[in-house]
């Protein structure tokens, strides 16, 4: 086991900082993606003395994303590397006695991920399981003797490569999902238990009509809670059962049925009386959800939506030792902050001030930690304390000391109909007051999401810094449909895509031009996912942009029905294409009015994307190519909705910048 002590890392950082102190910090370059590190997935030891976390790296030689397991003490003095970087490492979890640290990874020579076990007293990590299939979420039993996990078994041996391909048989309503691909009939996902002392596996649930996930053990050891759907890709009503069964064996009991648009999270209160979970609004508002924290008695009864009066999304939650309160991460107007909430009254108390993003939480003993970032600091681990957050890790300090970032400021303006809209403006490093700059409107995806004060390199915010480093002012606008401003603000675009959002985007650009910051003759536009879709919507309606890039987008929503993963949203929000044709035509106007586009546009996408398939970009590319509008199409092989191969991540940044430079000459 490789263990690198923090004092040595601190010395290295000090030497690097000393070597670069006399040199002027430089601007970001696309090649810097190989030096960036992202911190995620915190887990706190039961005594609150150590925090494990995962560091994401971009391996230049292997040309793949790698994940490294690290651990830091609660004082932030000592950091240790626990496991070498792996292409599949995820989900660290301490055993209840703190002796072991488990995680999921694919061992050398295996074709399947396994639960790995690291004895903190010394030695190399060992594979606890030797299963064939895909392991999902898992949880320790309170006595540390067992682990409950989800397993989607397959027909191949754990030690053999997959057998020759077979026909994919599909019967479920929701039959495809990005990364997972086609959701074939069979190979159902059920709960297993693993005996830690010997690695033996026992099936816990075998209901052929059920698909189980998110298992968690009650602190008193009596119950295992989990979610269950009746179709592999999710039930047509969008909801899932939240159920429990006796850990010693017995019938499954459904506590409630809930709809949640994002990731479900189950947790028992420490006294084992209540089970917490997430609940969203009705499924027809799938794209505009603000998931709330709810609790329900384990013995059964009425559920209680704790944050019903909050009107903001709860992104994550951890229950506290008193069994009366929780810490939740609240998405709010360009920030994402932790707050303490009373489980009975819903009263909240903000724990962190300032403009920052802290989406991931974890607790062990009395220690609560968060992964956080702000406008100048990428993601790191912070302890949440009475006097504010205390930083524990310094994974990015050495590199960031060599880099000059662009200043970020809030943008507030009125849209065409008088609605107040908020956003962010990133200025180029070395900005000269009074000078007008070429400006990029870079649109966030979703639409349920927001531009926020964060510099996680995997997020939209850091992509804006790369553009700012190339000499652009970069504008991000939380148009109507975005989260962070309340439910009514988010659902204002319900079944009316490409209308109010475009008005908000154009009004934002008007405001930046009027401020004297943006050069009206050198305006560009782009985005990924719904940001790409909004790019298509915008360049049909307005000719001010000199160049556009539309990544993982679509202009013809008719094309997407049955092709992407959003059938529930389409049928509930837009209706059936053959019945509600007028609505579908209205939201497909970029393709059917492609002859109004004169903006040179670069289309991009991954060939394995089932979220917004590349066919959406292909159609728009073909239309512009046939119309004689300057255009290109870039398809990234073996990539899903998110481009993750490091060389492709770099290539995408370089191509976007080159496209803008070709038509706007930002450095003149």
Tell me, what CATH number does 588's domain have? 3.40.50.1820
Catalogue the E-assigned strands of 158-199.
176-177, 181-182, 189-195
Residues 393 and 429 in one domain: no
| Three-class DSSP labels, 497-517 | CCCHHHHHHHHHHHHHHHCCC
Question: Is the bond preceding 308 in cis, omega lying within 30 degrees of 0?
Answer: no
In a domain, 168, yes or no: no
- Are residues 408 and 396 part of one domain? no
Among residues 540, 537, 584, which one has the least CA distance to residue 561? 584
- Kindly state whether residues 384 and 441 are assigned to the same domain: no
Rounded Cα distance between 507 and 497, Å, is: 17
Of the three residues 380, 400, 420, the one that is the final residue of a domain is 400
Q: Are residues 471 and 609 in the same domain?
A: yes
Q: Indicate if 610 and 628 belong to the same structural domain.
A: yes
Specify the residue for token string 């302890």. 383
Residue 1: what pLDDT? Answer: 34
pLDDT of residue 243: 94
User: Is 459 inside a domain boundary?
Assistant: yes
DSSP 161: P
Residues 387, 524, single domain; the answer is no
The conformational region for residue 87 under phi > 0 = left, psi -120 to 50 = alpha, else beta, is alpha
73: helix, coil or strand?
Answer: strand
Distances (CA, A) of 215 to 139, 153, 275, 363: 7, 17, 12, 18
Q: Does one domain contain both 395 and 528? A: no
Is residue 51 a contact partner of residue 369, using CB atoms and an 8 Å limit? yes
| 566 CA to centre of own chain | 17
27 in a domain, yes or no?
A: yes
Helix (H, G, I), strand (E, B) or coil at 412: strand
> What backbone phi and psi angles, to 5 degrees, belong to 57?
-125, 155
Listed in sequence order, the residues at least 6 apart from 459 whose beta carbon sits closer than 8 Å to its beta carbon are none
Closest by CA to 111, choosing from 161, 153, 181, is 161
CB 115 within 8 A of CB 39: no
* Other CB atoms within 10 Å distance of the CB of residue 633: 17
Residues 388 and 408 in one domain: no
Within 13 A of 531's CA, how many CA atoms are on the CB side?
A: 24
**DSSP 8-state assignment for residue 403:** B
Cα distances from 551 to residues 112, 445, 531, 564, in angstroms, run: 32, 10, 8, 15
> Which structural domain range is residue 608 located in?
404-663
- For residue 526, being part of any structural domain is answered with yes
* Residue pair 475/440 in contact by the 8 Å Cβ criterion: yes
**How many Å apart are CA 89 and CA 664, to the nearest integer?**
42
Q: How many domains does the chain have?
A: 2
Task: Specify if 94 maps to a domain.
Answer: yes
596 and 507 co-located in one domain: yes
Given this model, what pLDDT does residue 19 score? 40
Question: With a cut of 50, which residues of the chain have pLDDT below it?
Answer: 1-21, 158, 668
Pairing mode of beta strands 380-385, 518-528: unpaired
Phi first, then psi, for residue 38 (nearest 5°) are -120, 135
CA-based nearest residue to 542, from 587, 592, 496, 498: 498
Asked whether residue 186 is domain-assigned, the answer is no
Maximum alpha-carbon separation in the chain: 73
Torsion sign across C-alpha atoms 586, 590, 596, 599: positive
Closest CA to 59 of 27, 74, 37: 37
Give pLDDT tens digits for 570-593: 999 999 999 999 999 999 999 999
Same domain for 420 and 542, yes or no, is yes
3-state secondary structure of 604: strand
Helices (H), 351-499: 397-400, 460-469, 487-490
Q: Which residues does residue 134 pair with via DSSP β-bridges, in sequence order?
A: 152
Among 346, 371, 400, give the residue marking a domain's end: 400
Of residues 218, 209, 164, 167, the one with CA closest to residue 189: 209
**Does one domain contain both 387 and 421?**
no
- Pair 366, 508 in one domain: no
Q: Is residue 116 part of a domain?
A: yes
Cβ-in-10-Å burial (0-12, 13-18, 19+) of 61 comes to: exposed
Beta bridge partners of 53: 70
**Please, which residues bridge with residue 364 across strands?**
367
Residue 69 lies in a domain: yes
Secondary structure (DSSP) of 421-457: EEEEEEPPTT--TT--EEEEEEE-SSSS----S---T
Residue 9 has which token pair? Answer: 């890392």
Q: How far is CA 462 from the centre of its chain?
A: 14
């Amino acid at each position: 086991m490789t263990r690198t002590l923090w004092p040595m890392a601190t010395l290295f950082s000090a030497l690097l900082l000393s070597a670069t102190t006399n040199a002027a910090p430089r601007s970001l370059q696309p090649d810097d993606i190989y030096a960036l590190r992202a911190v995620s997935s915190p887990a706190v030891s039961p005594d609150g003395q150590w925090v494990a976390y995962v560091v994401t790296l971009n391996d230049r030689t292997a040309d793949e994303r790698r994940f490294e397991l690290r651990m830091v003490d609660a004082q932030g003095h000592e950091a240790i590397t626990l496991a070498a970087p792996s292409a599949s490492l995820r989900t660290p979890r301490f055993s209840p006695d703190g002796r072991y640290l488990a995680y999921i990874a694919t061992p050398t020579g295996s074709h399947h991920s396994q639960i790995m076990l690291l004895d903190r007293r010394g030695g190399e990590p060992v594979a606890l399981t030797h299963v064939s299939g895909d392991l999902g979420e898992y949880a320790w039993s309170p006595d540390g003797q067992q682990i409950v996990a989800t397993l989607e078994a397959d027909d191949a041996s754990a030690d053999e490569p997959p057998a020759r391909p077979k026909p994919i048989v599909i019967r479920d309503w929701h039959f495809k999902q990005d990364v997972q691909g086609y959701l074939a009939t069979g190979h159902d996902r059920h709960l297993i238990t693993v005996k830690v002392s010997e690695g033996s596996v026992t099936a816990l649930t075998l209901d052929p009509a059920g698909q189980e996930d998110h298992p968690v053990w009650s602190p008193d050891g009596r119950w295992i809670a989990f979610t269950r759907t009746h179709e592999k890709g999710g039930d047509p009503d969008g909801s899932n059962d939240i159920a429990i069964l006796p850990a010693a064996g017995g019938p499954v009991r459904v506590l409630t049925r809930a709809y949640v648009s994002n990731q479900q999270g189950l947790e028992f209160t420490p006294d084992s009386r209540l089970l917490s979970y997430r609940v969203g609004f009705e499924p027809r508002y799938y794209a505009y959800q603000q998931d709330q924290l709810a609790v329900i008695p384990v013995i059964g009864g009425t559920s209680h939506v704790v944050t019903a009066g909050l009107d903001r999304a709860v992104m994550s939650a951890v229950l506290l030792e008193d069994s009366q309160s929780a810490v939740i991460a609240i998405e709010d107007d360009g920030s994402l902050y932790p707050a303490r909430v009373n489980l009975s009254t819903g009263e909240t108390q903000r724990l962190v001030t300032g403009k920052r993003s802290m989406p991931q939480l974890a607790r062990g003993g009395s220690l609560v930690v968060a992964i956080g970032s702000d406008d100048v600091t990428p993601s790191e681990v912070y302890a949440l304390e009475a006097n504010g957050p205390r930083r524990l890790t310094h994974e990015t300090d050495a590199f960031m000391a060599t880099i000059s970032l662009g200043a970020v400021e809030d943008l507030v303006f009125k849209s065409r109909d008088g609605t107040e809209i908020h956003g962010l403006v990133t200025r180029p490093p070395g900005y000269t007051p009074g000078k007008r700059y070429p400006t990029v409107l870079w649109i966030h995806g979703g639409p349920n999401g927001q531009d926020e004060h964060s510099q996680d390199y995997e997020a939209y915010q850091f992509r804006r810094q790369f553009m700012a480093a190339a000499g652009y002012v970069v504008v991000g606008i939380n148009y109507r449909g975005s989260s962070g401003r309340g439910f009514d603000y988010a659902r204002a675009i319900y079944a009316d895509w490409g209308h109010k959002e475009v008005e908000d985007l154009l009004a934002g650009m008007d405001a930046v031009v009027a401020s004297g910051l943006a050069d009206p003759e050198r305006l560009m536009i782009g985005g990924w996912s719904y940001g790409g879709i909004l790019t298509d919507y915008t360049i049909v309606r307005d000719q001010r942009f000199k160049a556009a890039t539309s990544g993982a987008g679509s202009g013809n929503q008719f094309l997407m029905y049955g092709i992407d993963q959003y059938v529930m949203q389409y049928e509930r929000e837009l209706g059936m294409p053959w019945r509600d044709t007028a609505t579908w035509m209205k939201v497909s106007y970029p393709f059917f009015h492609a002859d109004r586009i004169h903006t040179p546009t670069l289309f991009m996408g991954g060939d394995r994307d089932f979220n917004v398939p590349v066919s959406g970009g292909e159609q728009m590319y073909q239309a512009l190519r046939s119309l004689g509008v300057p255009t290109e199409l870039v398809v990234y092989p073996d990539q899903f909705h998110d481009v993750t191969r490091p060389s492709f991540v770099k290539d995408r940044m370089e191509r976007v910048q080159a496209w803008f430079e070709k038509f706007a000459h930002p450095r003149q």
